[in-house]
Structure 1
Amino acid sequence: MYSPAMPTRPIERTISKRATHDSEFRAALVAEALKCLCENDVATAKSILRTYVMTAIGFEELGRRMGERPESLIRMMSDKGNPSLSKLAALLSAIKTHDGVNIEVRGTL
């Protein structure tokens, strides 16, 4: 039962802690981000991918793999960032390489 006196922690910290140690959870984050992109919820997708990057690979290493400055990637993934399709594709490729995430598209028409 919740009590106002009970200490709580921000959900972001809980998610980050789990993602740091759980590769299956990180894969689920990527899947959810892709689902959000398909539903045109870019803000949520960027937020989820930003969490993934911060916990799994870091912006420095991601920048090295993508040939981009980390500051540019941080800006791209910010609330006001507007990543191009080619940058998102490169980001997903780096994630796939880093964590061995298998990205599979299924659907029906």
Structure 2
Amino acid sequence: MPLTRDFKETVQARVQRDPEFRQSLFQEGIECMLAGDVDTANSLLRTYINATMGFSELGKLTNKQPKSLMRMLGPQGNPNARNFFDIIGCIQRHEGIQLAVTLRGAAQAPTPSAD
């Protein structure tokens, strides 16, 4: 189902005025990618990019054609690891944040015995 223009404009307005929402949108995109939900990740990252720097600016920062970047994050897109991390690095610098990976629900390592 295509998004309506009103919805896109509402999201863009919120992204531009609410840094916490903007960063959460980016974070959720990364978490979806890590969970294997590439389609949702691409959609969220595309929304973030369109509402912030735009694909033209991202293209300049990554030395890639904007249309190529749009295809990578499009519905059929699947960027290779190098391109994906180039994009993520540029977004982090643009946003002034740094992502960190944490383990959730991992089994604890056994403690060494005192034999």
Task: Sort the TM-score into its range (normalised by shorter chain).
Answer: 0.7 to 0.9
Superposed CA RMSD: 1.7
Aligned: 1:71 with 2:88: no
Partner of residue 3, structure 1: none
Count of residue correspondences: 102
1:12-68, Cα deviation, whole Å (9 max, x unpaired):
332222012222211101110111112110000000000110111111110000010
Q: 1:40 aligns with which of 27, 36, 42?
A: 36
Tell me, in whole angstroms, the C-alpha distance in 2 between the residues paired with 1:101 and 1:11.
27
Query: Rg: which structure is higher?
Result: 2
Instruction: Show structure 1 runs of 5+ residues with no match.
Output: 1-7
Partner of residue 54, structure 2: 58
Determine which structure has greater relative contact order: mean sequence separation of CA pairs < 8 Å that are 6+ residues apart, divided by chain length: 1
Q: What percent identity do the matched residue pairs reach?
A: 36
Aligned: 1:14 with 2:7: no
Tell me, in whole angstroms, the C-alpha distance in 1 between the residues paired with 2:40 and 2:56.
22
Q: 1:99 aligns with which of 95, 99, 105?
A: 95
Aligned: 1:25 with 2:21: yes
Q: Which aligned runs of 4 or more in structure 1 are off by greater than 4 angstroms?
A: none
AA matched with 2:66: P
